[in-house]
Chain A
Amino acid sequence: MSRDILLTLSSEPRARRLIQRLGLPIPLPQRLDREDAPYAEQPLRDRRVLALGTLRGELGRAIARALVEAGASPVIASETDVFDAPGEAWGRRAEALDHESARRFEALVFDASELAGPADLRALYDGFHTSVGRLAPCAHVVVIGRPPEEASTPAVAAARQGLEGFVRSLAKELGRRGTTANLVLCETGAESRLDGVLRFALSERSAFVTAQPLVVRRLAKAPPASTWSRPLDGKVALVTGAARGIGAATAACLAREGAKVLLLDRPDDDAPLAQTAREVGGVPVLLDVTAPDATERLLAVAREHGGLDVVVHNAGITRDKTLAKMDAAQWELAVEVNLGAVVRLTDALIAHKALKKHARVVLLSSVSGLAGNVGQTNYAAAKSGLVGYLRHLAPQVAERGVTVNAIAPGFIETRLTDAMPVAIREAARRLSALGQGGQPRDVAEAITFLATPSSVGITGAVLRVCGGALVGA
């Protein structure tokens, strides 16, 4: 794994001071705070969270309850009362914001759900202008709004859509300090589904997710109540391409949260697959997804384990060539593995009821696949195709409580990216808000979040894990 020199330099306090004193124009990205431990009951325990904005009604109460139950110590600037009940129940009453104090906040939640028009966007300025400077490094900001599609008038829709641009810019400003900023759009009636999303967005699990909108929807049927710790206990998860890299990291994360993981990869990779399976305590499944009998065999495996609760289609390949020079086999393989097999296998799992109720399907797309790249016409066709597939599928399976989403990783430090030429790799690393590449575990944590019961509000979505990359849609 090639080292990120700048990240190493910035972690060395002496090097940092030297560069700053000499005034060298070398960007020093902030080393991100990440969390390796399993999900805890209170992931935000004792963290100071600044809660601003409307904070009223059902949504305000849902936000307050989510924060307090996650262990946060709320600090408020306005006269809101939504923190009274949960604060009293959990012994975490909201404090008033002390403008003189120098204490910093590890998280900031802004309730922007009641914007009546463009003029109301002023509240964002008023709220953030003074608080932005009080955020600790590697803090997490979440702005909560309502979907523009639900707006009653165009003016309201304008204000709501404006939140997205605001958050994207904010994320780019704060990225230098390792702080993330994301937008959560909560459909009316989906307030009870906010807590899992807030726990993800306000904790280190989303260290490499920034500048993203996440829509929390009513669509998929809610699962029975589950625990916050070991949320995947008793669940069966299938991860394809699990021998190395993102797949292996994902298998490890899912196993950590209690799932029985079926690690699938090609027969050629049986050695690393067996090793990874041993390390995570999972079951290796040797299967080439392009093989003619792959569907049958996969169904048999699923049946053997009583059905699948989580399916992660991570197996993917690149066969990069400019279109004129690409031969048919390269085209075929890239589209087949990345899209064709995924569609075929997922359709079969659904048709044969091998996907249990409240199952989670996660597809791996790609930021560059969505944006397009020279030499990646085949890859991009496939990765974009996945998005079309899941958008159409999500409403169809929502009745069974199944969600279908895609993760679009940005620049993740893996074997594949190590193979890139140095100059391009450096450029790709720096062209993001956080100024560094992500790690396989960042993608794995995002996939694991989508696999948990509490992410039921997110379906039909593409979640980029890109550190706020400038590239891509």
Chain B
Amino acid sequence: MSSKKKSGRERDTNEAVPEVEKSAADPADPVEKKLSKKERKSLAGEAAPALDESSEKKLSKKERKSLAGEAAPALDESSEKKLSKKERKSLAGEAAPELDETSAKKLSKQERKSLAGEAAPALEESSEKKLSKKERKSLAGEEAPDTTPTTPPTETSSGTGDAPRSRTENGERRPSARAKELDARSLRRGSGPKRVSKVGDATRRAVIVAGIRTPFTKAFGALLGLDTIGLADAAVSALLERTGLPRREIESVVWGGVILPSAAPNVARELALDLRLGAGVEGMTVTRACASGLQAITLAAAAIERGEADVVIAGGSDSTSHAEVKLPQKAVHALAPVAFGKAKSWRDYLGVASQLLPITEVLPKMPKIAERTTGEVMGEAAERMAGRNRIARQAQDAFAARSHHRAAAAIASGRFDVEVAPVTLPNGERVVVDDLVRADTSEERLAKLRPVFAKDGTITAGNASPLTDGAAAVLLMSEAKARALGLTPLAAFRSWSYVAVDPADQLLIGPALAMPKALARAGMELSDVDLVDLHEAFAAQVLSVTQALASDAFARERLGRDRAVGTIDDDALNVHGGSIAIGHPFGATGARMVTTMANELVRRDRETAILGICAAGGLGAAAILERV
């Protein structure tokens, strides 16, 4: 079953993901990673003296045992999560000195993990900003918003030996002056409720272990031979191969899609049965238009955090080529007697036929991507947005060309090899590469295309995302489970947010509201985030969103902030292209973006990435990923 192909851009599918990235990473990094893993495994009794009495109630039986010097590997699953929490706590004074030689960023990350409310001055300046972020969270205590995984409670002292008076007699957290000030600041910013009690164990952080997608191809093209379930099968089976995950570990599948097969809409369950993941693997399929993939993944993460499962596969797929063309309901009703076998005589058939007139009313119509309540085709809505936000045609074409060039560079350099798996069609053909990306395109060539949605419009086939087939899947686990299985997590969710706007107003402006909300939930500013990935439904839509985020007026009038959310660095935005170039199989896009950003965070050794996706119905979605 394992394939050992090593030709061209294909890699050994049995290689664990981190190893592939190692080749591109800093020489110091592999050592770093191994060190941290080993550290975690060998903590055992070293941590005990560093722990404060006041945190004793946090220690489970297992922890107390290991404090007495027993080795960590003996742990069973039930206390695994407690141990990982303790591990983080006890990294404290042990980790810091050993990491002095490493990069400043790494140092700050370790320190952050072990910090127990110490003031910033202890750290070097370069990481102070990042520290304050983490510090803020730890100071604010465990009561982070319910949908975000919290940082581990770090109320215990570090190796300095001083026990901060952060708890009152009965163990309640006493908010520090800085925490109060930060809370007041966030209230002034109007960031909404930050203290929502979290259900379940605070340490069950859901981590992204790996992500794989099929190549994305033009609709009615190379992947025509597979329907949405077939594409989902391909993506998930490749994911399992690449990670080497034993099938018996999988508990649940959450899948996203827009064009769901009417005979079998629960694609998640169908793929679980097709791939024989185990009869007990339950599946759910969700739809939130273009944000379905992200929705599936955040639902899986939330389920893991709530303790409903430890290992979940989440993703999305859409085969636009297999969009079912509906018979108008008039035809369905007219043909019902025939369908149910009730038409017997020629008179009955004549009666049925007479109801099928005029013929134009019973012929199937080509489906359009139009808003049900407004009747407006999505492209027309985008065209209106381009007009209202004054996004010039030239700017849109430039952005589209940028998307193509960056995606082409990623393919050429092999960057996408870690996340794209070739697909073998039923007829034996192989599909290996994203065939919509055009390395040779340019602003000049795009300028020649005619507008599609309005006579003197700006949106063309070149600066809009194309109809595509494809699938993408992500493997999520609880952090403890990942460690137990020996898998290195890539990233985790710091926060997410789903919003809605009036679809009759600016249909696709959703991310401009969802992203600030996700940032507020994570206690971050846009300038704190390292990478930004925006779904490119239309170049005009992306540029409208970035313009709104950079607008003080937008922030004041619509977000209750006094200043703009922020300006996105060109170098940080859609670093490997986006939906315009790669394609947009509706349900798969969210999962593609999560995969690419998770891999990119590791590859570039960055801390956080923010995703923004607009969706039909006036919906917006955003999520913030953090490096694990």
Contacts and interface: CB of A to CB of B under 8 A. Distances in A.
B613 to A, nearest CB: 19
A91 B385 contact: yes
Interface stretch (A80-88, A129-137, A366-374, A421-429): A80-88
B504 interface: yes
Contacts of B509: 91
Size range of the chain B interface in the assembly: 10 to 19
Given A41-B502, A41-B505, A91 B556 contact: no
Contacts of B554: 88-89
Interface string B551-562: 111101110000
Contacts of A128: none
B388 A92 contact: yes
Nearest to A229: B502
Contacts of B504: 40-42, 45
A451 to B, nearest CB: 23
Contact of B506 (A86, A87, A91): A91
A85 B385 CA distance: 17
A381 B557 CA distance: 49
B287 interface: no
A42 B556 contact: no
Contact of B557 (A41, A45, A89): A89
Interface string A89-118: 111110000000000000000000000000
Contacts of A86: 553, 557
B505 A89 contact: no
B390 interface: yes
Interface string A172-209: 00000000000000000000000000000000000000
A91 B504 CA distance: 13
Residue of B505, B506, B552, B554 ringed by the most chain A CB atoms within 10 A: B505
A71 interface: yes
B505 A71 contact: yes
Contacts of A358: none
Interface string B494-506: 0000000010111
Counting chain B CB atoms within 10 Å of each CB, which of A86, A89, A92, A93 scores highest? A89
A234 to B, nearest CB: 21
B553 A42 contact: no
B389 interface: yes
Contacts of A464: none
Chain A's interface size range is: 10 to 19
A218 interface: no
A95 B133 CA distance: 43
A45 B504 CA distance: 8
Given A41-B502, A42-B504, A45-B504, A88 B388 contact: no
A87 B557 CA distance: 10
Contacts of B468: none
Contacts of A87: 553
A85 B553 contact: yes
A40 B502 CA distance: 10
Contacts, number: 42
B549 to A, nearest CB: 12
B586 to A, nearest CB: 25
A40 B553 CA distance: 24
B556 A89 contact: yes
A269 B389 CA distance: 57
A97 to B, nearest CB: 18
A83 to B, nearest CB: 10
A91 B390 CA distance: 8
A229 to B, nearest CB: 9
A85 B388 contact: no
Contacts of B151: none
Nearest to B544: A91
Interface string B371-391: 000000000000001001110
A89 B509 CA distance: 11
A84 B505 CA distance: 18
Interface in B473-501: none
A378 to B, nearest CB: 50
Contacts of A360: none
Contact of A84 (B388, B389, B553): B553
A155 to B, nearest CB: 37
Contact of B502 (A42, A65, A85, A92): A42
A65 B557 contact: yes
A80 to B, nearest CB: 15
A87 B548 CA distance: 11
A93 B548 CA distance: 13
A41 B505 CA distance: 9
A91 B557 CA distance: 12
B578 to A, nearest CB: 22
Interface string A44-73: 010000000000000000000100000100
A45 B505 CA distance: 8
A42 B557 contact: no
A41 B385 CA distance: 18
Contacts of A85: 552-553, 556-557
Nearest to B558: A89
Given A42-B504, A45-B504, A91 B553 contact: no
Contacts of B552: 85
Nearest to A92: B388
A194 to B, nearest CB: 16
B395 to A, nearest CB: 15
A89 B565 CA distance: 12
A71 B502 CA distance: 11
Interface in B287-318: none
A90 B390 contact: no
A42 B505 contact: yes
A257 B210 CA distance: 50
Nearest to A85: B553
Contacts of B506: 90-91
B385 A88 contact: no
Contacts of A92: 388
Nearest to B504: A45
B388 to A, nearest CB: 4
B190 to A, nearest CB: 13
Nearest to B556: A85
A88 B502 CA distance: 17
A234 B29 CA distance: 60
A107 B390 CA distance: 24
A103 to B, nearest CB: 15
Contacts of B553: 84-89
B245 to A, nearest CB: 46
B377 to A, nearest CB: 16
Nearest to A42: B505
A85 to B, nearest CB: 4
Nearest to A41: B502
Interface in B522-561: 544, 548, 551-554, 556-558
Contacts of A90: 505-506, 557-558
A93 B554 CA distance: 12
Nearest to B390: A93
A454 B36 CA distance: 60
Contacts of B558: 89-90
Residue from A84, A86, A87, A91 having most chain B Cβ neighbours under 10 A: A91
B427 to A, nearest CB: 49
A43 to B, nearest CB: 11
Nearest to B388: A91
Given A65-B557, A93-B390, A88 B505 contact: no
Given A41-B504, A86-B553, A90-B557, 9 more contacts: A41-B505, A42-B505, A84-B553, A85-B552, A85-B557, A89-B553, A90-B505, A90-B506, A91-B385
28 contacts: A41-B502, A41-B504, A41-B505, A42-B502, A42-B504, A42-B505, A45-B504, A45-B505, A84-B553, A86-B553, A86-B557, A87-B553, A88-B551, A88-B554, A89-B551, A89-B553, A89-B554, A89-B556, A89-B557, A89-B558, A90-B505, A90-B506, A90-B557, A91-B389, A91-B506, A92-B388, A93-B388, A93-B390
Ranked 9 nearest A-B pairs via Cβ: A89-B557, A91-B388, A88-B553, A85-B553, A89-B554, A89-B553, A91-B389, A41-B502, A88-B551
